[in-house]
């Protein structure tokens, strides 16, 4: 037997009858005559060579075993088409089909999670690609066109190919394990230079050779902020960390904030950045505003 291909309209009629529980209900929902609904179902049955509804002996059409077996596939097909149409309408209205974003590792995880949760609700048709980098590698993703939006720290100044907008800041504080020599009271100026400092390294050539809040000539360069965090708790060296990331450790006593005369901690300014030759679309602009607002909430 040669099986035909039902039309999208026939699939929608089939689903409407099943969901409404009657041909009349499907007709009202779709703004059609009952005869048109009945004809659509009959045509789909003829195309597939199966009976979808048992119509006799009941005022309410009942799905046959074949109808039940095809229901999930019919919903999947119409769902995919609806998603396609929604994305097409978004493209016509200027909405991006996808957004690629790179975040500085200093951005609080709770900020990222809250923004992305709301983004999914606001822009269900927009695909999102997310990457997390450190220091100059964030801006490097923009310049290499691996990302269209970045939330970057202050290590890369004004760049001729990039626009930036200040959106908030993260507090950095010097910390160490409680038994570290620098955790004592009355630390003298210059004492921090005698001890190993853990420093977040930059994998980007944009800022190669530059030092950021490095006081000690003894230093370990780490490309991963999580690894730095773990080493600090093990008592290996001292270093600056975002306050939000070590808040629980400070409360539990696993780490202590150091009172160093040099005050190496600082406000780590964050900016939204994008290429000047690509204007941010609606979804990208929403992300910029949402991240700024969430960072503001964290700072209050």
The answer to whether the predicted template modeling score (pTM) of the entire model surpasses 0.75 is no
Mean per-residue pLDDT for 125-129? 91
Evaluated on CA atoms 217, 218, 223, 226, the torsion sign reads negative
Cβ atoms 99, 283 nearer than 8 A: yes
Band of residue 281 on the pLDDT scale cut at 50, 70, 90? confident
- Residue 81's pLDDT band (boundaries 50, 70, 90)? confident
Rounded Cα distance between 141 and 147, Å, is 6
Q: How many residues does the structure list for the chain?
A: 300
**Token output for 53:** 């509804």
pLDDT of residue 1: 64
The per-residue DSSP string of 42-56 comes to HHHHHHHTS--EE-T
Three-state SS string across 122-134, please?
HCCCCEEEEEEEC
Residues 180-217: tens digit of each pLDDT: 999 988 888 888 888 998 988 776 665 555 555 666 77
| Each residue's pLDDT tens digit, 50-70 | 999 987 755 688 899 998 999
pLDDT band at 223 (very low <50, low <70, confident <90, very high): confident
Q: Phi then psi for 83, rounded to 5 degrees? A: -65, -40
């Amino acid at each position: 037997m040669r099986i035909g291909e039902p039309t999208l309209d026939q699939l929608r009629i089939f689903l409407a009858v099943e969901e409404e529980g009657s041909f009349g209900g499907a007709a009202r929902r779709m703004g059609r005559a009952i005869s048109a609904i009945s004809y659509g179902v009959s045509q789909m049955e003829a195309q597939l060579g199966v009976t979808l509804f048992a119509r006799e002996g009941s005022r309410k059409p009942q799905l046959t075993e074949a109808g039940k077996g095809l229901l999930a596939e019919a919903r999947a097909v119409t769902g995919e088409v609806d998603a396609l149409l929604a994305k097409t309408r978004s493209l016509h209205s200027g909405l991006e089909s996808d957004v690629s974003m790179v975040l500085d590792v200093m951005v609080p995880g709770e900020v990222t999670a809250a923004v992305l949760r709301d983004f999914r609700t606001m822009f269900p048709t927009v695909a999102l690609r997310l990457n997390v980098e450190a220091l100059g590698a964030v801006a490097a993703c923009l310049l290499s066109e691996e990302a269209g939006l970045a939330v970057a720290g202050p290590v890369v100044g004004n760049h001729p190919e990039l626009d930036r907008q200040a959106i908030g800041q993260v507090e950095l504080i010097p910390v160490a394990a409680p038994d570290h020599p620098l955790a004592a009271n009355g630390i003298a100026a210059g004492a921090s230079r005698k001890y190993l400092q853990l420093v977040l390294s930059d994998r980007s050539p944009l800022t190669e050779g530059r030092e950021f809040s490095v006081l000690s000539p003894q230093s370990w360069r780490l490309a991963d902020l999580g690894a730095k965090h773990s080493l600090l708790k093990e008592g290996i060296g001292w270093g600056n960390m975002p306050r939000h990331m070590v808040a629980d450790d400070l409360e539990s006593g696993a780490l202590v904030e150091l009172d160093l005369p040099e005050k190496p901690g600082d406000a780590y300014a964050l900016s939204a950045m994008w290429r000047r030759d690509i204007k941010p679309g609606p979804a990208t602009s929403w992300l910029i505003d949402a991240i700024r607002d969430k960072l503001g909430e964290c700072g209050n």
